[in-house]
Each structure stands twice: as structure tokens, then as C-alpha cells.
Amino acid sequence: MLTKLKLIRLKKGLKAKEVARRANIAASWYCNIENGQSDSGMPSLETMQNIANVLGVPVNSIFKISYECKV
């Protein structure tokens, strides 16, 4: 299953290692974030913003968020 973050990265034609380098984080940390396997806790908003900037997308577009509104 492709995560939203990985799908965006692949569409941009970037390797995970390149995104990590440009976002100034370790490649292993980026891969954990991308795969949702973060043993070190959640990434900071700053880290997510750096990744979004590298990918050229708004930071909110890389999160899996769904809202249900009942009236």
C-alpha cells in the first residue's frame, strides 16, 4: 500500500534519500515517516513542513485526514 506521502514523492520522480537530504533529515527517519513506522514519535511540524517544501505541496496535503460532518 502506498502512503499519500510516498505517492506524492513518486509522482515528483524523487528518491526517498533525495527528499531526506533536501529536508535536512536522516534518510532512515524519512523512510519511517513515509511508512508510518515512527518509533521515535511523531515528526515535528517543522520537519513535515520541510518535507512538504521539498515536494512542492502544502503541508496539509501530505496528511491522511478525513472529516465527517453530521448535521
Which domain CATH number covers 13?
A: 1.10.260.40
pLDDT (tens digit, 9 = 90+) per residue, 41-69? 788 889 999 999 999 999 988 876 555 55
**Count of structural domains within the chain:** 1
11 domain residue, yes or no: yes
Q: What is the DSSP letter of 38?
A: -
39 domain residue, yes or no: yes
37 pLDDT band, cuts 50/70/90, is confident
End-to-end CA gap in the chain: 33
67 domain residue, yes or no: no
Confidence (pTM): 0.81
Contact 39, 32 (CB under 8 A): yes
CA distance linking residue 34 with residue 4, whole number of Å:
8
Q: What is the pLDDT of residue 42?
A: 82
70 domain residue, yes or no: no
68 domain residue, yes or no: no
Closest CA to 4 of 29, 24, 27, 33: 33
Range(s) of the domain holding residue 15: 4-62
Q: What is the pLDDT of residue 41?
A: 74
69 domain residue, yes or no: no
